[in-house]
């Protein structure tokens, strides 16, 4: 697609419920990132996928958080047994990894999924 698409744009759920957030990256972008944006906290790295390599899960805050990327394209971030502190905007970004320019490639972000846990 023309940009990074995320759904739902807004999600309100009750504490203890599971939620799934979806990201559809730019076609051809091999790298996909999930970040969390909390009020006054900036952006927090969650997880990274690159091609067929094992994902970098070093940013996931607890084992209630998981993500998968099917077929090297669409990704789903799952939060189990949601807590109120999970309320945030979850941003997905993708990039085209060009050999020899690691670190310099621009991330393209989606509009985010705003999660509110009551």
| Site for other proteins, rule CB under 8 A | 4, 31, 33, 35, 40-43, 45, 48, 50, 56, 58-59, 91, 93, 95, 97, 102-112
C-alpha to C-alpha distance for 22 and 83, rounded to whole angstroms = 19
Q: How far is the CB of 28 from other proteins (least distance, A)?
A: 15
Q: How far is the CB of 9 from other proteins (least distance, A)?
A: 8
Closer by beta carbon to other proteins, 74 or else 80 = 74
Cβ pair 87, 14 in contact under 8 A: no
Peptide bond into 9 cis (omega under 30): no
Closest CA to 68 of 50, 49, 94: 49
Q: How far is the CB of 86 from other proteins (least distance, A)?
A: 19
Q: For residue 85, give the 3-state DSSP assignment.
A: helix
Closer by beta carbon to other proteins, 1 or else 40 = 40
> For the chain, how long is the longest CA-to-CA vector?
46
Closer by beta carbon to other proteins, 82 or else 110 = 110
Q: How far is the CB of 67 from other proteins (least distance, A)?
A: 13
């Amino acid at each position: 697609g023309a940009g990074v698409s995320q759904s739902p744009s807004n999600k309100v759920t009750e504490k203890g419920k599971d939620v799934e957030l979806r990201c559809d990256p730019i076609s051809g972008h091999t790298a996909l990132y999930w970040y969390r944006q909390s009020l006054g906290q900036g952006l927090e790295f969650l997880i990274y996928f690159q091609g067929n390599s094992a994902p970098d899960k070093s940013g996931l805050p607890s084992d209630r958080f998981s993500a998968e990327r099917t077929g090297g394209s669409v990704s789903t971030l799952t939060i189990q047994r949601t807590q109120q502190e999970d309320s945030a905007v979850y941003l997905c970004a993708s990039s085209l990894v060009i050999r020899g320019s690691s670190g310099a490639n621009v991330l393209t972000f989606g509009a985010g999924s705003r999660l509110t846990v009551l």
